[in-house]
Amino acid sequence: MSNKYEPSKVEDNYYKIWEDRGYFEVDGNKNIQEVGKNFSIMMPPPNVTGSLHIGHALTFTLQDIITRFKRMDGFKTLWQPGTDHAGIATQNVVEKQLLAEGTTKEEIGREKFLERAWLQKETSGGNIVHQMRKLGVTPAWKRERFTMDEGLKEAVKEAFVSLYNDGFITQNNYMVNWCTHDGALSDIEVEHEEVNGKFYHMNYHFADGSGHVTVATTRPETYFGDTAIMVHPDDERYTNIIGKEVILPLTDRKIKVITDSHVDMEFGTGVVKVTPAHDQNDYEVGKRHNLEFITCFDDKGILNEYCGEFAGLERLEAREPIVKKLQDEGFIVKIDEHVHQVGHCYRCKNIVEPFISQQWFLSEKVAQSSIAKTKAHNNFHPAHWINSYTAWMDELRPWCISRQLWWGHRIPVFTCDSCNHQWADQADEPEACPKCGNKHYTQDPDVLDTWFSSALWAMSPLGWGNNGKLPELYDFEQDMKDFYPNSLLITGFDIMFFWVARMMMMGDHFQGELPFKDIYMHALVRDEHGAKMSKSKGNVIDPLDMVEEHSADIIRFTLAYLAVQGRDIKLGAKNLEQFRNFTNKLYNASNFLTLNVDTFPDLKDIEIKTPLGIYMQSRLSDAVDEVRDTLENFKFNEAASTLYRFVWTEFCDWGIEYSKASKESIVELGAIFKETLKMVSPFMPFISDYLYHKLSGTSLEEGADSLMVTNFPSNVKKDEKIEEMFAIIEEAITALRRAKVIIDMGNSKISKAYIKLDKQIDTDVAKPFIEKLAKVEDIEFVDAKVENSITDVSDNLEVYLPTGEIDMTPIISKLEKQKEKVEKEVNKLNGMLSNERFVANAPEAVVAENKQALEDARNKLEKIENELKALGV
């Protein structure tokens, strides 16, 4: 084994060994598994077309830390991996490829298109999985699932058919969010962005020639679908026009003036056009008033015959020529600038239209039981996420689950060509119509929303609804017993409603209990200034670049250390540098130990006897308890902070330094450090394995087991009495260092010092540690104050440095010069602040700044005077 730690070589090599040995699988830790302890967590399946971004890195790192911890703690552990078919995203990729080849999906047909989509999946599907391996994550790769594999296809059909037969899935003509490229979208797939638009004020003339009324709109291209204009019933300005007819500009179609309390009298002119087929609010008005629903453009956004000479134009491209014609004909009164929210497709960023379409919907009633249980047993971490969940779910509407795509789970609904009977069927090709026996039927052309299959993810990869497909993966029946409900879900809050809430409703509906015992919602990773990362800002951090530059261990520990519950992570170069230094600290500690002893036993195989060994073991005990408690409560940052503090401060800054006065303790410290590496392992698995084997004189490559399948530390022996003694030792060393600073000998060795203790300790044990670390040749413990000495008083002791043996002249001279300089500063500031004119005329901030400077100078002067007094001046 090389003496130099090279992450780029170690990480890829170790990962392959771990995976080849099956450590990540359910039985990978069988030698330490304890009966009745099961742990399961589902990986949020990343898009098969995607690549690893920093949000993924955070999710997978936290999941891996808790999985490794549970695996080491004797749990039968399943971290279920998988990828999502990503209906819209994958179809868009393939369609662009076809366009580049000069063809379209319609030209090659559905069957050929799906062949291309599967090819795309096979080509790019492994990319993100490869990238995840670079991060060192340990899901059960042999059980990897894909949301359109044979078993999960069966589960989707099982769920759909059951919900359909129970009346929870129905087909309706309804207003949906419509992307003219990607088809129907659910409410949460629409991203609302603030845009700089315009407010068009148009005159609608009364049919009887009695004048006109002015209507304001942001979307003039939709006015061809108007079937009324409306005013508020209490708006006295328009009482005389209620019931009258107006003529739509550029057409001969007449519509009526109606009243509805939906109108905001204070907004615009107080007169509103009603376009029931192209506006969500107007849709409800249209139903209330039995208005005609006129669709003025098709599902591709192309204007139709209702739009006269503008038919054939795309809706957004049509706006400019329509407005110009309205202006030329005198219908436009004015155009104002107007900032407003516009919905965009979350995938292709196209402007979304409210559009009436025949779609499949899942009733919100399916979620009622899960909502009640979630409110009763708030299992969110941080707990405040229950408020967001409740606010959304209490307003839940039917979920549009159909999508106008070819790539995805095809809706398993069939219509008989003979009797027109419609039914849902789990068979891909039913034998015949169940009503009339006819063998000719048509399947619904649409596919299911990608999130429908993802909503089953807590149970379908465990075998629920797989109907015997892919049985070679595992024992479906046993896995449902062992791993449902899942122990934990870790994901970003941004997909709470896309995914988490939908898994809650589906899991509870089909299994009668919520799918997760705990749900940890992590925040966003932002740049070091707190800005959201985006390609346009140029502030995106690529986790793979960070792994390449630093190491997987460093990026993992950095993310964990910064992952405070409920708080966004600000990630910058300084954070990564801080934890690069931490890995150096681990490495240097290991090097120090091996300079003195070749190999070290495990803690369980050695009896700790030396005072230093007993002390460091006791401090380890506290660290173990803290790390365990914080991980059990998903406080990853606190667990990482405890590790950082114990390794850096307690073990290295104190323990290793103490060992220079206690060479006989080094073997024990090595055993304690090896136990510490087991705690570090879930966070920084590569370097911890490397150093553990280096200290053990073993090799992972030559067959030694990885730390990841050894027991996580527990029940480490504690000794409060010896901790109290070393606390006094540390206090004495610190006090002596402070006293030496007064005489300008902070880092120099002195011959003599005295210590007066307020507490009884074993001074024979304490003496060599204090002498070595405080750099004093001889320490003497006394019962009374030593005259003619520099004194430092702390909580439990006083230290004295005798001045008789030290030439104090240069020290006193230096302090007196400092005193003179500070006195001048005090006098200057006093004079300034005593000047009433200055205080009255100077800016408030300047006066405050000078007052603070005066206070600081006085404190400094007092300190110097005390030091001179201590020197007898």
The answer for residues whose C-beta is within 8 angstroms of residue 444's C-beta and 6 or more apart is 360, 402, 410, 411, 413, 414, 415
d(CA 490, CA 483): 16
Q: The domain containing residue 208 runs over which residues?
A: 179-355
Residues 731 and 860 in one domain: no
The answer on 302 and 183 residing in a single domain is yes
Q: What total number of domains does the chain contain?
A: 3
Whose CA is closest to 498, among 392, 602, 425, 578? Answer: 392
State the DSSP string of 762-784.
-HHHHHHHHHHHHTEEEEEEESS
- Let me know whether 740 and 851 are in one domain: no
Mean pLDDT, rounded, of the chain: 91
Query: Do 728 and 866 have their domain in common?
Result: no
Preceding omega of 485 cis (within 30 degrees of 0): yes
Q: Domain containing 247 — which CATH number? A: 3.90.740.10
Q: How far is CA 344 from CA 179, 190, 200, 516, in A?
A: 8, 6, 21, 32
Domain final residue, candidates 321, 355, 389: 355
Task: Assess whether 297 and 350 both reside in one domain.
Answer: yes
Asked if residue 501 is part of any domain, the answer here is no
What pLDDT is attached to residue 1? 42
CATH of the domain at 778: 3.30.2320
The DSSP call for residue 311 is: T
Residue 799 lies in a domain: yes
274 and 287 both lie in a single domain:
yes
Parallel/antiparallel/unpaired status of strands 228-231 and 272-274: antiparallel
Q: How many CA atoms lie within 13 A of 823 on its CB side?
A: 8
Of all helices (H) and strands (E), which one includes residue 680? helix 666-680
Tell me whether strands 332-345 and 190-206 are parallel, antiparallel or unpaired.
antiparallel
Q: Of 355, 374, 409, at which residue does a domain stop?
A: 355
Burial of 779 (0-12, 13-18, 19+ CB in 10 A): buried
Do the domain assignments include residue 326? yes
Cα–Cα distance between 410 and 424 in angstroms, integer?
A: 12
Spatial CA neighbour of 510 closest among 449, 448, 452, 456? 456
Tally the residues of the chain.
Answer: 873
CA–CA gap between residue 548 and residue 184 (Å, rounded): 41
- Considering just the CA atoms, what is the radius of gyration of the chain in Å? 37
Of 771, 787, 806, at which residue does a domain stop? 806
Inter-residue contact 248 to 224 (CB < 8 Å)? yes
Q: Tell me, what's the pLDDT at 710?
A: 97
Q: Is residue 42 part of a domain?
A: no
pLDDT mean by block of 10 residues, the chain; 873 residues = 73 96 97 97 89 88 97 98 90 90 93 93 84 94 94 97 97 86 79 87 92 91 93 92 93 92 87 90 90 91 93 94 94 90 82 88 96 94 93 90 93 96 96 95 95 96 92 84 96 87 96 96 82 73 86 94 86 84 93 94 96 98 98 96 97 96 96 98 97 96 95 96 96 94 83 93 95 94 90 90 76 80 89 87 88 89 79 69
Check whether residue 856 and residue 727 sit in a common domain.
no
What is the per-residue pLDDT for 536?
Answer: 67
Residues 747 and 797 in one domain: yes
- Whole-model pTM: value is 0.83
Side chain identity at residue 662, one-letter code: S
| 364 in any annotated domain | no
**CA–CA dist 217, 210 (Å, integer):** 23
Secondary structure class of 137 (helix, strand, coil): coil
Residues 781 and 819 in one domain: no
Q: Residue written as tokens 């896309």?
A: 498
Domain annotation covers residue 418: no
Whether residue 294 lies inside any domain: the answer is: yes
Task: Identify whether residues 787 and 836 lie together within a single domain.
Answer: no
187 and 214 both lie in a single domain: yes
Question: CA-CA distances (angstroms) from residue 639 to 67, 291, 564, 733?
Answer: 15, 62, 11, 29
Shared domain check, 865 and 738: no
Asked, for residue 319, whether it belongs to a domain, the answer is yes
Q: What is the pLDDT of residue 50?
A: 78
535 has binding-site annotation: yes
